[in-house]
């Protein structure tokens, strides 16, 4: 599979050759599907905003992502590029989840996966299973809200007082900081509270009181005090903090996930690496923050897949403001292994076309372009997560 088929004349040969073989670090990804799904389940899984059945009047294959799957994944499964949706789904259904994942993951050219395990349960592979299927190692990201929920749930039966929450939460983070497998943390405040909250460091008494209140109702952690507490505690232990920003599921209030709302936190927290994830349509705001704060980095991973061929424009905009040392590669793939592959294919293609244009216009050398690819593709993640 040549990602520069059809556009080779627009990408300098040395840059194209490098992008074809560069080994990437996918710094934010989830497991691949561990169970077989029917057509309706597959189409729902390639729609980020909803898991509802696709309406009868449409198919999710008629989307930028659907077109990209038929273009780039079909040949990996032995079909012609642009095979029809019915033909494509019939072919993928002939393969078990493990074989399907192995075939597609092998073509992604990913050297290491950094996996968020906080969502999906038995529906997707564990980091160990993803590593086995791909033949490449996997590290883990600890989701702060889910860890707090698990601690609070266990406390309903075993704790003598809600004050135990602080001790147990801090102990779990201390263990994470020592673990060779966990390389960072993540907050999904975007889904639970939005970013327009009080990000100041709460007192222990306030945290204990909020934990006690949280234990009295069904647990889906939405308390801004407990969320701010988790982020500050992770940062104080030197753990990188990933933050979901922008585009996501329908239970997210998009207007409350503009990363500029994080300014109070970024100014006050311990200066550990902060990784703004996805960021679309706020990628320019993220670029500003990455320029303005030494500890802020960002990616546009999730949107690259969903924009398909238009991801070329997204990559160009992501490169506008922020230093190249502050950007990372990710796919944010969850479920269908097509997404793990496409994140890589579309990123390589976009980087080739955008940076190739700069080279041909005389705005940088081919060596500069290759160096930028290596920084964003792997070197920045190696530094940030101390791999």
Bridge partners (DSSP) of residue 242 are 186, 275
- Asked if the model's pLDDT at residue 55 lies above 70, the reply is yes
What is the percent of the chain with per-residue pLDDT over 90, rounded to a whole number?
87
- Asked if the model's pLDDT at residue 217 lies above 80, the reply is no
- Which tens digits make up the pLDDT trace of 370-379? 999 999 999 9
Mean pLDDT (the chain, rounded): 95
Q: What is the mean pLDDT of residues 340-350?
A: 98
Distance CA 200, CA 202 (A): 6
- The per-residue pLDDT for 69 is 98
Distance CA 116, CA 94 (A): 29
On whether the CB atoms of residues 344 and 110 are closer than 8 A, the answer is yes
- Which tens digits make up the pLDDT trace of 57-93? 999 999 999 999 999 999 999 999 999 999 999 999 9
230 burial level (CB within 10 Å; 0-12, 13-18, 19+): buried
- The per-residue pLDDT for 381 is 98
Q: What is the 3-state secondary structure of the chain? A: CCCCCCCHHHCCHHHHHHHHHCCEEEEEECCEECCCCCHHHHHHHCCCCCCCCCCCCCCCCCCHHHHHHHHHHCHHHCCCCCCCHHHHHHHHHCCCHHHHHHHHHHCCCEEEEEEECCCCHHHECCHHHHHHHHCCCEEEEEEHHHHHHHHHHHHHHHCCCCCHHHHHHHHHHHHHHHCCCEEEEEECHHHHCCCCCCCCCCCHHHHHHHHHHHCCCCCCCCCHHHHHHHHHHHHHCCCCEEEEECCCCCCCCHHHCCHHHHHHHHHHCCCCCEEEEECCCCHHHHHHHHHHCCCEEECCHHHHHHHHHHHHHHHHHHCCCCCHHHECCCCCCCECHHHHHHHHHHHHHHHHHHHHHHHHCCCCCHHHHHHHHHHHHHHHHHHHCCC
- The per-residue pLDDT for 214 is 87
On whether the CB atoms of residues 205 and 175 are closer than 8 A, the answer is no
- The per-residue pLDDT for 158 is 58
Please state, as a whole number, how many other Cβ atoms lie within 10 Å of the Cβ of residue 366: 17
Q: What is the mean pLDDT of residues 236-249?
A: 95
- Asked if the model's pLDDT at residue 51 lies above 70, the reply is no
On whether the CB atoms of residues 253 and 193 are closer than 8 A, the answer is no
Torsion of CA 24, 27, 30, 36, to 10 degrees: -10
- Asked if the model's pLDDT at residue 160 lies above 70, the reply is no
Query: Residue 29: CA atoms inside 13 Å, Cβ hemisphere, count?
Result: 38
pLDDT band at 161 (very low <50, low <70, confident <90, very high): low
- Which tens digits make up the pLDDT trace of 117-127? 987 778 999 99
User: Comparing 205-219, 259-273, 321-335, which segment has the lowest mean pLDDT?
Assistant: 205-219
User: Comparing 103-117, 153-167, 189-203, which segment has the lowest mean pLDDT?
Assistant: 153-167
Question: 């050759």: which residue's tokens?
Answer: 17
Torsion of CA 186, 189, 192, 196, to 10 degrees: 180
Question: 């970024």: which residue's tokens?
Answer: 266
Question: 């222990």: which residue's tokens?
Answer: 204
What are the structure tokens assigned to 55, written together? 């309406």
Q: What is the mean pLDDT of residues 164-181?
A: 95
pLDDT band at 157 (very low <50, low <70, confident <90, very high): low
Please state, as a whole number, how many other Cβ atoms lie within 10 Å of the Cβ of residue 151: 21
User: For residues 71 and 215, which has the higher predicted lDDT (pLDDT)?
Assistant: 71
Bridge partners (DSSP) of residue 25 are 112
Note the pTM of the prediction, 2 decimals.
0.96
Residue 206 makes CB contacts below 8 A (sequence gap 6+) with: 225
- Asked if the model's pLDDT at residue 156 lies above 80, the reply is no
């Amino acid at each position: 599979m040549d990602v520069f088929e059809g556009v080779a004349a627009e990408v300098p040969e040395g840059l194209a050759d490098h992008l074809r073989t560069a080994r990437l670090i996918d710094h934010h990804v989830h497991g691949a599907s561990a169970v077989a799904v029917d057509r309706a389940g597959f189409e729902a899984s390639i729609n980020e905003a909803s898991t509802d059945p696709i309406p009868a009047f449409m198919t999710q294959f008629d989307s930028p992502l659907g077109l990209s799957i038929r273009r780039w994944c079909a040949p990996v499964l032995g079909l012609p590029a642009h095979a029809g949706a019915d033909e494509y789904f019939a072919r993928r259904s002939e393969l078990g989840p493990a074989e399907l994942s192995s075939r597609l993951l092998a073509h992604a050219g990913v050297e290491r996966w950094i996996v968020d395990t906080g969502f999906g349960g038995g529906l997707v592979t564990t980091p160990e299973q993803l590593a086995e299927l791909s033949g490449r190692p996997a590290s883990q990201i600890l989701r702060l809200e889910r860890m707090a929920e698990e601690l609070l749930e266990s406390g309903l039966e075993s704790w003598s007082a809600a004050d135990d929450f602080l001790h147990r939460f801090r102990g779990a983070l201390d263990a994470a900081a020592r673990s060779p497998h966990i390389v960072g943390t993540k907050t999904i405040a975007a889904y639970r509270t939005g970013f327009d909250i009080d990000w100041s460091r709460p007192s222990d008494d306030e945290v204990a009181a909020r934990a006690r209140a949280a234990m009295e109702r069904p647990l889906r952690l939405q308390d801004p005090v407990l969320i701010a507490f988790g982020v500050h505690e992770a940062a104080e232990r030197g753990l990188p903090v990933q933050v979901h920003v922008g585009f996501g599921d329908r239970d997210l209030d998009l207007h409350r996930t503009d990363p500029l709302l994080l300014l109070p936190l970024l100014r006050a927290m311990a200066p550990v690496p902060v990784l703004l994830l996805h960021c679309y349509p706020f990628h320019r705001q993220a670029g500003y923050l990455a320029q303005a704060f030494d500890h802020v980095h960002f990616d546009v991973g999730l949107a690259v897949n969903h924009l398909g061929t238009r991801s070329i424009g997204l990559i160009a905009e992501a490169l506008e403001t922020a230093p190249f040392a502050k950007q990372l590669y990710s796919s944010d793939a969850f479920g269908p292994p097509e997404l793990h592959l496409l994140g890589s294919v579309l990123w390589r293609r976009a980087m080739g076309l955008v940076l190739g244009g700069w080279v041909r216009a005389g705005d940088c050398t081919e060596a500069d372009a290759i160096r930028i690819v290596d920084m964003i593709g792997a070197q920045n993640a190696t530094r940030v997560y101390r791999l």
